[in-house]
Protein backbone atom coordinates (compact mmCIF):
# COMPACT_ATOMS: atom_id res chain seq x y z
CA UNK A 1 0.00 0.00 0.00
CA UNK A 2 1.42 3.39 -1.00
CA UNK A 3 1.99 5.96 1.75
CA UNK A 4 -0.06 8.33 -0.40
CA UNK A 5 -3.15 6.15 -0.21
CA UNK A 6 -5.96 7.23 2.17
CA UNK A 7 -5.40 4.25 4.44
CA UNK A 8 -7.12 4.30 7.86
CA UNK A 9 -4.62 1.72 9.09
CA UNK A 10 -1.94 4.43 9.23
CA UNK A 11 -4.13 6.77 11.29
CA UNK A 12 -5.58 4.54 14.02
CA UNK A 13 -3.88 2.99 17.02
CA UNK A 14 -3.98 -0.77 17.47
CA UNK A 15 -6.61 -0.39 20.19
CA UNK A 16 -8.68 1.95 18.02
CA UNK A 17 -8.58 -0.51 15.15
CA UNK A 18 -9.56 -3.33 17.53
CA UNK A 19 -12.56 -1.37 18.79
CA UNK A 20 -13.71 -0.47 15.28
CA UNK A 21 -13.30 -4.04 14.07
CA UNK A 22 -15.25 -5.29 17.07
CA UNK A 23 -18.02 -2.76 16.42
CA UNK A 24 -18.35 -3.88 12.81
CA UNK A 25 -18.49 -7.48 13.97
CA UNK A 26 -21.37 -6.63 16.31
CA UNK A 27 -23.20 -4.91 13.46
CA UNK A 28 -22.70 -7.87 11.13
CA UNK A 29 -23.96 -10.22 13.82
CA UNK A 30 -27.02 -8.22 14.85
CA UNK A 31 -28.16 -6.72 11.56
CA UNK A 32 -29.86 -9.85 10.29
CA UNK A 33 -30.42 -10.62 6.64
CA UNK A 34 -30.01 -7.94 3.99
CA UNK A 35 -29.80 -7.78 0.21
CA UNK A 36 -27.04 -5.23 -0.22
CA UNK A 37 -24.10 -6.15 -2.46
CA UNK A 38 -20.82 -6.21 -0.56
CA UNK A 39 -19.66 -2.76 -1.68
CA UNK A 40 -22.99 -1.13 -0.76
CA UNK A 41 -23.01 -2.97 2.55
CA UNK A 42 -19.66 -1.37 3.42
CA UNK A 43 -21.40 2.00 3.17
CA UNK A 44 -24.53 0.97 5.08
CA UNK A 45 -22.47 -0.68 7.81
CA UNK A 46 -20.43 2.48 8.33
CA UNK A 47 -23.63 4.54 8.55
CA UNK A 48 -24.98 2.18 11.20
CA UNK A 49 -21.62 2.36 12.98
CA UNK A 50 -21.80 6.16 13.10
CA UNK A 51 -25.40 6.24 14.39
CA UNK A 52 -25.94 2.95 16.29
CA UNK A 53 -29.26 2.89 14.42
CA UNK A 54 -30.10 -0.33 12.61
CA UNK A 55 -33.09 1.29 10.90
CA UNK A 56 -30.68 2.62 8.29
CA UNK A 57 -30.58 -0.91 6.90
CA UNK A 58 -34.07 -0.21 5.56
CA UNK A 59 -33.55 3.48 4.76
CA UNK A 60 -30.40 3.44 2.62
CA UNK A 61 -30.96 3.42 -1.13
CA UNK A 62 -28.41 3.32 -3.94
CA UNK A 63 -28.37 4.05 -7.64
CA UNK A 64 -26.94 0.99 -9.37
CA UNK A 65 -23.81 2.91 -10.35
CA UNK A 66 -23.39 4.82 -7.09
CA UNK A 67 -20.36 3.02 -5.69
CA UNK A 68 -18.42 2.79 -8.94
CA UNK A 69 -19.18 6.43 -9.78
CA UNK A 70 -18.22 7.67 -6.32
CA UNK A 71 -14.98 5.70 -6.21
CA UNK A 72 -13.99 6.76 -9.72
CA UNK A 73 -14.74 10.41 -8.93
CA UNK A 74 -12.62 10.35 -5.77
CA UNK A 75 -9.72 8.65 -7.52
CA UNK A 76 -9.86 11.28 -10.25
CA UNK A 77 -9.55 14.08 -7.69
CA UNK A 78 -13.09 15.44 -8.01
CA UNK A 79 -14.25 18.41 -5.94
CA UNK A 80 -16.65 17.77 -3.07
CA UNK A 81 -19.50 20.22 -2.60
CA UNK A 82 -21.04 20.06 0.88
CA UNK A 83 -23.96 22.02 2.26
CA UNK A 84 -22.53 22.86 5.70
CA UNK A 85 -19.16 23.23 7.37
CA UNK A 86 -19.97 20.40 9.78
CA UNK A 87 -19.38 17.97 6.93
CA UNK A 88 -16.14 19.56 5.79
CA UNK A 89 -14.82 19.50 9.37
CA UNK A 90 -15.68 15.82 9.72
CA UNK A 91 -13.92 14.75 6.54
CA UNK A 92 -10.31 13.64 6.67
CA UNK A 93 -8.33 16.18 4.66
CA UNK A 94 -5.28 13.92 4.38
CA UNK A 95 -7.26 11.09 2.82
CA UNK A 96 -8.99 13.41 0.36
CA UNK A 97 -5.71 15.20 -0.34
CA UNK A 98 -4.11 11.93 -1.39
CA UNK A 99 -6.34 12.08 -4.46
CA UNK A 100 -6.25 15.86 -4.87
CA UNK A 101 -9.89 16.29 -3.81
CA UNK A 102 -10.90 19.65 -2.35
CA UNK A 103 -13.99 20.34 -0.23
CA UNK A 104 -16.11 23.41 -0.94
CA UNK A 105 -18.90 24.96 1.09
CA UNK A 106 -20.29 28.44 0.54
CA UNK A 107 -23.19 28.65 2.97
CA UNK A 108 -21.44 31.12 5.31
CA UNK A 109 -20.03 33.37 2.59
CA UNK A 110 -21.06 37.01 2.97
CA UNK A 111 -22.37 37.28 -0.59
CA UNK A 112 -24.45 34.13 -0.16
CA UNK A 113 -26.00 35.42 3.05
CA UNK A 114 -26.71 38.84 1.51
CA UNK A 115 -28.30 37.36 -1.61
CA UNK A 116 -30.45 34.97 0.41
CA UNK A 117 -31.78 37.88 2.48
CA UNK A 118 -32.37 40.06 -0.57
CA UNK A 119 -34.26 37.34 -2.46
CA UNK A 120 -35.99 35.86 0.60
CA UNK A 121 -34.30 32.61 -0.41
CA UNK A 122 -32.19 30.33 1.79
CA UNK A 123 -28.45 30.32 2.26
CA UNK A 124 -28.45 26.68 1.20
CA UNK A 125 -30.09 27.49 -2.14
CA UNK A 126 -27.81 30.43 -2.82
CA UNK A 127 -24.72 28.42 -1.89
CA UNK A 128 -25.61 25.82 -4.54
CA UNK A 129 -26.12 28.60 -7.07
CA UNK A 130 -22.72 30.04 -6.22
CA UNK A 131 -21.14 26.61 -6.54
CA UNK A 132 -22.65 26.28 -10.01
CA UNK A 133 -21.35 29.72 -11.04
CA UNK A 134 -17.88 28.71 -9.88
CA UNK A 135 -18.00 25.39 -11.74
CA UNK A 136 -18.00 23.28 -8.56
CA UNK A 137 -21.27 21.44 -9.17
CA UNK A 138 -20.76 19.52 -12.41
CA UNK A 139 -18.51 16.50 -11.93
CA UNK A 140 -18.45 16.82 -8.15
CA UNK A 141 -19.58 14.65 -5.30
CA UNK A 142 -22.42 16.62 -3.73
CA UNK A 143 -23.01 15.78 -0.06
CA UNK A 144 -26.07 17.27 1.65
CA UNK A 145 -26.60 16.41 5.30
CA UNK A 146 -28.71 19.26 6.64
CA UNK A 147 -30.45 21.41 4.04
CA UNK A 148 -33.20 19.87 1.91
CA UNK A 149 -33.44 23.12 -0.05
CA UNK A 150 -29.84 22.62 -1.19
CA UNK A 151 -30.67 19.13 -2.41
CA UNK A 152 -33.77 20.36 -4.24
CA UNK A 153 -31.72 23.10 -5.92
CA UNK A 154 -29.20 20.52 -7.12
CA UNK A 155 -32.12 18.54 -8.55
CA UNK A 156 -33.34 21.65 -10.33
CA UNK A 157 -29.98 22.19 -12.02
CA UNK A 158 -29.93 18.58 -13.14
CA UNK A 159 -33.45 18.71 -14.59
CA UNK A 160 -33.41 22.21 -16.08
CA UNK A 161 -29.78 22.67 -17.12
CA UNK A 162 -28.53 19.08 -17.40
CA UNK A 163 -25.77 19.69 -14.86
CA UNK A 164 -24.26 16.31 -14.00
CA UNK A 165 -22.67 15.77 -10.59
CA UNK A 166 -20.59 12.59 -10.33
CA UNK A 167 -22.55 11.44 -7.26
CA UNK A 168 -25.18 12.84 -4.94
CA UNK A 169 -25.03 11.88 -1.26
CA UNK A 170 -28.48 13.01 -0.16
CA UNK A 171 -29.01 12.59 3.56
CA UNK A 172 -30.55 15.81 4.91
CA UNK A 173 -32.23 15.46 8.28
CA UNK A 174 -35.48 17.20 9.15
CA UNK A 175 -39.25 17.51 8.97
CA UNK A 176 -39.79 19.99 6.11
CA UNK A 177 -38.95 18.66 2.63
CA UNK A 178 -36.22 16.29 3.87
CA UNK A 179 -37.95 13.09 2.79
CA UNK A 180 -39.32 14.73 -0.36
CA UNK A 181 -35.90 16.00 -1.47
CA UNK A 182 -34.46 12.50 -1.28
CA UNK A 183 -37.31 11.06 -3.31
CA UNK A 184 -36.69 13.78 -5.90
CA UNK A 185 -33.06 12.69 -6.19
CA UNK A 186 -34.10 9.09 -6.73
CA UNK A 187 -36.20 10.12 -9.74
CA UNK A 188 -33.09 11.41 -11.54
CA UNK A 189 -30.73 9.42 -13.71
CA UNK A 190 -27.70 10.49 -11.68
CA UNK A 191 -25.76 8.25 -9.29
CA UNK A 192 -27.00 8.73 -5.74
CA UNK A 193 -26.80 7.41 -2.22
CA UNK A 194 -29.71 8.52 -0.03
CA UNK A 195 -31.20 7.80 3.37
CA UNK A 196 -34.93 7.83 2.74
CA UNK A 197 -37.29 9.53 5.16
CA UNK A 198 -36.58 12.16 7.81
CA UNK A 199 -33.39 10.73 9.27
CA UNK A 200 -29.96 11.91 8.18
CA UNK A 201 -27.36 14.47 9.15
CA UNK A 202 -23.78 15.57 8.71
CA UNK A 203 -22.30 12.54 10.48
CA UNK A 204 -24.03 10.24 8.01
CA UNK A 205 -22.77 12.20 5.02
CA UNK A 206 -19.25 12.00 6.43
CA UNK A 207 -19.51 8.27 7.08
CA UNK A 208 -20.66 7.62 3.50
CA UNK A 209 -17.76 9.54 1.99
CA UNK A 210 -15.28 7.82 4.29
CA UNK A 211 -16.71 4.45 3.25
CA UNK A 212 -16.20 5.41 -0.39
CA UNK A 213 -12.63 6.43 0.37
CA UNK A 214 -11.94 3.04 1.93
CA UNK A 215 -13.54 1.30 -1.04
CA UNK A 216 -11.36 3.37 -3.34
CA UNK A 217 -8.30 1.89 -1.65
CA UNK A 218 -9.64 -1.66 -1.89
CA UNK A 219 -10.42 -1.36 -5.60
CA UNK A 220 -6.89 -0.14 -6.23
CA UNK A 221 -5.29 -3.08 -4.39
Active site residues: 49
Three-class HEC string of the chain: CCCCCCCHHHCCCHHHHHHHHHHHHHHHHHCCCCCCCHHHHHHHHHHHHHHCCCCHHHHEEECCCHHHHHHHHHHCCCCEEECCHHHHHHCCHHHHHCCCCCEECCCCCHHHHHHHHHHCCCHHHHHHHHHHHCCCCCCCEEEECCCHHHHHHHHHHHHHHCCCCCEEEECCCCCCCHHHHHHHHHCCCCCEEEECCCCCCHHHHHHHHHHHHHHHHHHHC
Amino acid sequence: MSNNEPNDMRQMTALGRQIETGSFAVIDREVGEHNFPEDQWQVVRRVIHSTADFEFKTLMAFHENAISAGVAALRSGCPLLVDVKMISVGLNADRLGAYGCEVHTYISDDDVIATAKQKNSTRAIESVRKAHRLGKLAGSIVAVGNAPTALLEVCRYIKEENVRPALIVGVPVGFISAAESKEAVMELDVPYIVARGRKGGSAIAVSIIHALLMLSVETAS
